[in-house]
Each structure stands twice: as C-alpha cells, then as structure tokens.
Amino acid sequence: MSVAAPGRRFTMDRRRLVNTVARFREFGILLVLLLLVVITAIGNHNFLSSTNIEGIALDTAILVILAIGETVVILTRNIDLSVGAVLGFSALFVGVVLKVHPGIPVPIALLLGAAVGLLFGLGNGLLVAFGEVPAIIATLGTLGIYRGLIFVYSTGSNQHEITASDLPNNFLALATQTFLGVKLFLIIPVLLILAAGYWLGQTQSGREMYAVGGNSTAARLAGINSRRTVLLAFALSGALAGLGGVLYLARYAQVDTLAGNGMELNVIAAVVIGGTSTLGGVGGVLGTLIGCVLLSVINNSLVLLTDPGSAQFWSRAVYGLVILGAVVADALITGRLQRALRRRRA
Amino acid sequence: MSAPPSEQTAGGQIVTGPATWRGIAPRLARWELLLVVLLIGVLIYNAQLSQYFWDSQNILDDTSNFMEIGLLALPTTLIIIAGHIDLSVGSTAALASVIFADRFQAGWNVWLCCLAALAIGALAGLFNGLIITRVKIPSLVVTLGTFALYRGLANGILGNTEVSGFPDSFVGIDLRYLGTTHIPAPLIIFAIAAVLTIILLHGTVFGRYVFAIGNNEQASRFSGVAVDRVVVILFTLSGLVSAFAGLILTSRLQTSRGDLATNFELQAITAAVLGGANIFGGSGTIYGTVLALFVIGLLQNGLTLANISGDIQTIAIGVLLILSILLPGLARRGRVAFGRWKGGDAGRTKRLPAV
C-alpha cells in the first residue's frame, strides 16, 4: 500500500479518525454524558451548583472504588457478583468495631475494611482459579453466603444497625474534612484510579490481566500463571469492596444488614457502560470512571428533572435503558470500525 | 444400562459414534442419583425437625411456595444449555403481574388482563432475544440491562402502592386441589410444564438444536441450524413462562406489587446449575433441574421449620450451589491425577466434550 500517494489525502484523514476513535472507545459514552449534563443544566439551574456537583462526586466515589476491582475481574474474563455483599459486611463489621473501640484511628479502620474484603475476595479467587468453578456460579454462591454472614454476624454481635451516634467523630470527619480544598473522601478514589490506570497499562502484572482475559491459552503458553492472575484480580476486587464499605459507613453513617444490597448490578453496569467487554481482555479504568460518573449523573438528573417522588420508582428503568443503549451503541460502533479496518487492510 | 468401564470414561477416554451416550449417560445418572440422595437427606432432616412434616397435606401444600421458581427454572435450563443466560425472568414476572393489576384497575375483564400480562411477558422475552441475536451482545449483558429495565417499569407503573381485590375466580390458586386429592393446582401446573419441557428438550429436533448451539454455536450455524431463530424462540418462551409464573404468584399472594419475585432469577439459575446444567452450555437435563428444585425448596422449608431466618438460609443455598460444581470437578481432577500416577495416559487423553 503506497502510504504517501498524493491522491489519498482524504482517505488518510479518515483513516486517522478511525484510528483515534478506535483507540478511544470511551468517546461515545463521553458524548452521552456531555449531552445529559447539558440537558439537565438547562432543565434545572441547580445542577451545576457546587453543592450538587459535590453530591454527585461523593456518590460516584464509592461506586468507582468497587468498579475498579470489578473492571480488573471482568478484564480477566470473569465476573464478581459478590461486591455488594462484601461492601455490606465490611460496613457493618467496621461500624461495630468502631462502636466498641472508638479510639481506632481512621487509617486502621480503612485497612481493617480492606482486609475483611480481601479475605472474601481470596475466597472467590480460590474457588474460581483453583476450584475451577465458573466465576458467575462461584460469586452467585458467595453473594448468598456473604450476605447470609452479614445476618449471622449481626445476630451474633446483637448489632442490627449502626447509626451516626455509634461512630466516633474523627471517623465521620472522613466524609466532611477537606485537604487543599478537596474533600479527603474524594482523594482516595482519585488515587486509586490513577494507580489502577498505571498498573493495568504500564506494569507486567497489570498487562497479564488483559492477556489472561484476551486469550488464556496464549497467556499460558507465554508463561503467564493464569491461576495466580485470576486469584489476584478477585483478591483486589474483594479488598476494594471492603474499603468501599468503610467509605460507605463514613458517608451515610447509617448501616443496616441490607447495606449494598443489589449494588453489584450498578457496579457491573458502570464497568460495561465504560467499554470493558464481558468477553475479557478489552477495556480499562478510564472508561469505568466515565461509566460511574454517567450513572451518578443519571440518578441526579432523574431527581432534578422529575417529581422526586416518582423518580425513585422509574430510576431502575432508566438505568436499564442506559445500559442497553450504551452496549448497543458500542456494539454498532465497534462493528462499523471493524468493517472499516477490514476494508483498509484489503 | 450395562456398566461400561466407567473409570475409563470418567478418566477421559474418547468414545465415538453411537457410543457417545454410553459415556455420558452414566455420568448424568450418577449426578441425578446424587440429587436423589440429597433429596432424601433433606426429607429426613425435615422430618426430624417437625413431627407434622410427613403429613401428606403439609408436604404437598409446601410445594406451592416454590412452584413459581420451578416454572422459571424450566426455560432457564433450556437457555443455559444453549450457552446463554436470562437474568430478567424475575423482573419479567413482576412486570407481567403489574400489567395485570394495572389493566384490572382500568376495568378490564380479569382473563383479558391475564392475556395482556402474558403478551407483555412474551414481548419482553422477544426483545431480549432480538437484541442478543441482531446486535450480537452477550446475553449476560443484555438481560442485566432488561433485568433493571423491566423491574424499573414494574416499580414505575405501581409506585409504592399495591393492588389487590382481584375476583375469587382468579385468586387462591394454591387453595385449589385436583378433584378430591390433596394435590394443589400449582404443583399440577408445574408437573405439566415440566413434562412439556422434557418432551421439547429431550424428544424433539428443536431440543437437539438447543444442545448443538450450546456445544458449538459456529458449528451449528455451519450445519444449517437456524441458530438465531432458536435463540429468539428460547428467550420469547422464557418471557412467556415468566409472565405465567408472575400470574400464579399474584393469584397465590392475592396482591400485585412492583417488587414481586425479587431474586427469583438467582434461585432459578441455582436450580438449573445444581440440576447439572453446564453454565457454559451444551449439557443438562430437565430431570436434574426438577430434582434440584425440590432439594432447594424442601431445604428452605426445613430451615424455616428449624427457625432459621430466610436471610441466613441463603448461606445453605450458596454452599450447595458451589459444592455442586466444586466437588465433581475436584473428583474428576483427582481421578485424572490418580490415573497419571498409575502410569496410564488417561490424564493426557483429550476429554470428551459433553453432549
């Protein structure tokens, strides 16, 4: 193919466009997000107020932390349905511990939640990687088991609910304190996104997640220990869900045995909307971040643009429509791109 | 079945041609035998807890509690065997129930309302099937979306209200019995549905297509199987049956709400997988699903008798689900390792893909 042929300038530009869009799969979803922001901002002037934006950011923060772990798991061509239950257990467990020992410093509380989550995540990982139980079955089972354990724990410790009055003030300050004008609470997910982006993109163990999800046979032949890789992905997802539980506790200061119930679907929706393929090996945390923001903005728009009373009932339907719309659009765009690339190769 | 050298088949000897069934049948029979043993264990456990358990009236009436899940588990099994999954069955059941209640409030005849609900259910399933086959998106993702969409529509239409006051001719299906026996109507309906599904899956060309697609979709396509049509029919059927289950649930509970049948999809999938359906497609039986359904349903019944709350019962179901996949897999690998240790080359032989 003569690349420098003068008559091909127009095709060259189009080719570059195709390349750019192909490389930045998050493009379409970003457009949807912008459109939604514009519509909501026109419909309700409070949308762009700093209080509202901060509210959206705080809502997104917890979702992002869980979604990072879920992204890694889905990249390895697995799925983790237990994250909502892990979040719930960690939130209640750390809440009870703080109630009994109010002197525990905040970083220790965060680590404690992450450690509890890590144990649950390792359980999932061992079942999937070494027990060879399909991830959807293993985590469907542990979803029930972990959720049941929340009730066992709350019955055993006789603590069915944790409220703000049970929690020490320095812990609650986690959700209100600022550092250089930014909420301390928001710094954690931002750091995690940056770290996860670097890890998945630039380090060997991060790239191995893509390799195992993209083609596990090829990965094994290339000398990658796929069992260890999958175990690591699930352990990470569990630890992050546990950490998310502690932040959930700090933000809402009100936790009962149903905390995080059904949250796994929002998390998976955010990851899928963000362009990470459930077939493994494709995607990343940047898309996931946009997916999380989109879900939070949708929730917020529903409240702002409709009667708040009815919004809560229709919100799931809109969620469903957006998930479907995003994956259908993504499939159509990817299909067109592949055809364009094939034509170019021909 | 005359006993073939089962250790060898289990170790992974390649069996060809008509002998394929000889390799598979014992394995299935073993699995279903295991479920029967499990079922007997659950029955003994239940009987120990309450002297009233063996009362035939009681045991038959208890089945009404899980017949709706049983109805959902039948098409779920077909879909799993075809290598797909349907997470939207519980939401579809709720949507159908809500449409029924909404049309009833609008003054429609109650049977016309039922028809409307069934039509909505079939449409919901058709929608799933069309997106999966036309846009080529994994069914897990599509039905995750419609799981939220259909549930959201059900919640939106009724808000936080609930509708009741349906005519006597519609409500209380679980209080009707076959003739003078103690067999409640939901059990009979489920039995008929199960027999029909067994005939469809194990006795028709369509059923063989379902196995073929689950085994190797591309090969089925190249062999002239109308893969997309079969998948669309399966999902439409699933929607229709879900709506039907939603109506039975409405009749039994005598009210309709948006949050009806929550988590039913998980229990239906659990029944199918515990019953031996391969989550990656290609194998499974309706017999297994039916047995697994009774194991789960009666276990829940027993745990309730033992005063263990429903929230904690989920642990037992979760453990059962995981063990049902984990243990046979470990046993198989153990046998392969044993074979290798003995110096045979059973471990290295390519394992026969399941039918």
Among the partner residues A265, A313, A315, nearest to B144 by beta-carbon distance: A265
Residues of B in Cβ contact (< 8 Å) with A323: 141, 144-145, 148
Q: Cα B48 to chain center, whole Å? A: 29
Q: What pLDDT is recorded for position B304?
A: 84
- Whole-angstrom distance, CA of residue A40 vs CA of residue A93: 38
Please report how many Cα atoms fall inside a 13 Å half-sphere around the Cα of residue A293, on the Cβ side: 20
**Is 1.10.3470 the CATH number for A26-345?**
yes
Beta strands A254-256 and A161-163, pairing class: antiparallel
Q: What pLDDT is recorded for position B71?
A: 97
Residue A269, both tokens:
């929706």
Within A76-105, residue ranges assigned H as helices are 83-100
Residues of A in Cβ contact (< 8 Å) with B314: 144-145, 147-148
- Whole-angstrom distance, CA of residue B214 vs CA of residue B198: 17
Taking the Cβ of residue B146 and every Cβ of chain A, the question of whether any pair is shorter than 8 Å is answered with: yes
Beta strands B255-256 and A161-163, pairing class: unpaired
Q: What pLDDT is recorded for position A4?
A: 45
**What's the distance, Cα to Cα, between the start and end of chain A in Å?**
10
Tell which of B314, B333, B350 to mutate to test the A interface (max A CBs under 10 Å). Answer: B314
Stretch A237-251: mean pLDDT: 95
CA R_g for chain B: 22
Question: Of A183, A182, A163, which Cα lies nearest the Cα of A174?
Answer: A183
Question: Of A104, A100, A66, which Cα lies nearest the Cα of A86?
Answer: A66
Which parts of chain B register pLDDT below 70?
Answer: 1-29, 343-355
Among the partner residues A152, A279, A319, nearest to B148 by beta-carbon distance: A319
Tell which of A86, A327, A334, A338 to mutate to test the B interface (max B CBs under 10 Å). Answer: A327
Q: What pLDDT is recorded for position B7?
A: 37
Higher-pLDDT residue of B167 and A181 is B167
Q: What pLDDT is recorded for position A15?
A: 61
Stretch A113-119: mean pLDDT: 97
Q: Which of A5-9, A33-37, B309-313 has the lowest mean pLDDT?
A: A5-9
Residue B210, both tokens:
């379902």
State residue B132 phi and psi, 5-degree precision.
-65, -45
Residues in B 258-277 with any Cβ partner in A closer than 8 A: 258, 266, 269-270, 273
Give the distance between the most distant pair of CA atoms in chain B.
76
Q: How far is B29 from chain A (nearest CA, A)?
A: 21
- Tell me: pLDDT of A201 over 70: yes
Among the partner residues B314, B316, B321, nearest to A137 by beta-carbon distance: B321
Stretch A5-19: mean pLDDT: 54
The residue assigned the tokens 């989920």 is B314
Residue B103, both tokens:
């049309």
- Angle between the N-to-C axes of helices B286-305 and B264-274, in degrees from 0 to 180, rounded to the nearest 10: 120
In B, minimum Cα distance to A325 occurs at: B145
Among the partner residues A272, A321, A335, nearest to B149 by beta-carbon distance: A321
Residues of B in Cβ contact (< 8 Å) with A295: none
Q: What pLDDT is recorded for position B316?
A: 86
The residue assigned the tokens 């939106």 is B156
Taking the Cβ of residue B84 and every Cβ of chain A, the question of whether any pair is shorter than 8 Å is answered with: no
Q: What pLDDT is recorded for position A6?
A: 47
All structural domains of chain B with their residue ranges: 6-341
Residues of A in Cβ contact (< 8 Å) with B273: 137
| Helix (H) / strand (E) containing A5 | none
Q: How far is B174 from chain A (nearest CA, A)?
A: 28
Q: Are A147 and B311 in contact (CB under 8 A)?
A: yes
Q: What pLDDT is recorded for position B8?
A: 38
Q: What pLDDT is recorded for position B16?
A: 42
Q: Are B265 and B90 in contact (CB under 8 A)?
A: yes
pLDDT band at A190 (very low <50, low <70, confident <90, very high): very high
| Helix (H) / strand (E) containing A178 | strand A178-179
- Tell me: pLDDT of A3 over 70: no
Q: What pLDDT is recorded for position B28?
A: 56
A256, β-bridge pairs: A161
Residues of A in Cβ contact (< 8 Å) with B322: 127, 131, 133, 137-138, 141-142, 145
Cα three-residue angle B275-B279-B280, rounded to 5 degrees: 140
Q: Which of A147-151, A160-164, B124-128, B344-348 has the lowest mean pLDDT?
A: B344-348
Q: Cα B103 to chain center, whole Å? A: 29
Among the partner residues B309, B317, B326, nearest to A144 by beta-carbon distance: B317
Stretch A322-336: mean pLDDT: 79
- Whole-angstrom distance, CA of residue A84 vs CA of residue A128: 18
Q: What pLDDT is recorded for position A75?
A: 96
Question: Of A179, A185, A193, A199, which Cα lies nearest the Cα of A292?
Answer: A193
CB atoms closer than 10 angstroms to residue A312: 16
Q: Are A273 and A327 in contact (CB under 8 A)?
A: yes
Among the partner residues A132, A144, A332, nearest to B318 by beta-carbon distance: A144
ipTM computed for the complex: 0.81
pLDDT single digits (tens) A63-106:
999 999 999 999 999 999 999 999 999 999 999 999 999 889 98
Q: B309–A151: do the CB atoms touch at under 8 Å?
A: yes
Taking the Cβ of residue A138 and every Cβ of chain B, the question of whether any pair is shorter than 8 Å is answered with: yes
Three-class secondary structure of residue B93 per DSSP = helix
Higher-pLDDT residue of B22 and A333 is A333
Residue B258, both tokens:
């948006």
Residue A118, both tokens:
């890590």
Taking the Cβ of residue A268 and every Cβ of chain B, the question of whether any pair is shorter than 8 Å is answered with: yes
- Whole-angstrom distance, CA of residue B135 vs CA of residue A328: 7
Q: Are A77 and A209 in contact (CB under 8 A)?
A: no
Among the partner residues B136, B151, B159, nearest to A310 by beta-carbon distance: B159
For chain B, what's the residue count?
A: 355
Taking the Cβ of residue A327 and every Cβ of chain B, the question of whether any pair is shorter than 8 Å is answered with: yes
Among the partner residues A132, A155, A316, nearest to B152 by beta-carbon distance: A316
Beta strands A182-183 and A178-179, pairing class: antiparallel
Q: Are B158 and B102 in contact (CB under 8 A)?
A: yes
Within A216-262, residue ranges assigned H as helices are 216-221, 226-252
The CATH number of the domain covering residues in B6-341: 1.10.3470
Q: What pLDDT is recorded for position B44?
A: 86
Residue B322, both tokens:
């995981």
Q: B147–A278: do the CB atoms touch at under 8 Å?
A: no
Stretch A295-301: mean pLDDT: 86
CA R_g for chain A: 22
Q: A323–B321: do the CB atoms touch at under 8 Å?
A: no
Q: Are A189 and A285 in contact (CB under 8 A)?
A: no
Stretch A123-141: mean pLDDT: 92
Q: What pLDDT is recorded for position B301?
A: 84
All structural domains of chain A with their residue ranges: 26-345
pLDDT single digits (tens) A251-275:
898 888 888 888 888 899 899 888 8
Cα three-residue angle B169-B263-B240, rounded to 5 degrees: 50
Residues of B in Cβ contact (< 8 Å) with A155: 312
- Whole-angstrom distance, CA of residue A81 vs CA of residue A61: 19
- Whole-angstrom distance, CA of residue B122 vs CA of residue B93: 11
Task: Give the burial class of B252: count Cβ atoms within 10 A of its Cβ; 0-12 exposed, 13-18 middle, 19 or more buried.
Answer: buried
Residues of B in Cβ contact (< 8 Å) with A335: 136
Please report how many Cα atoms fall inside a 13 Å half-sphere around the Cα of residue A181, on the Cβ side: 1
- Name the average pLDDT for chain A: 86
State residue B157 phi and psi, 5-degree precision.
-65, -45
Q: What pLDDT is recorded for position A22?
A: 54
For chain A, what's the residue count?
A: 346
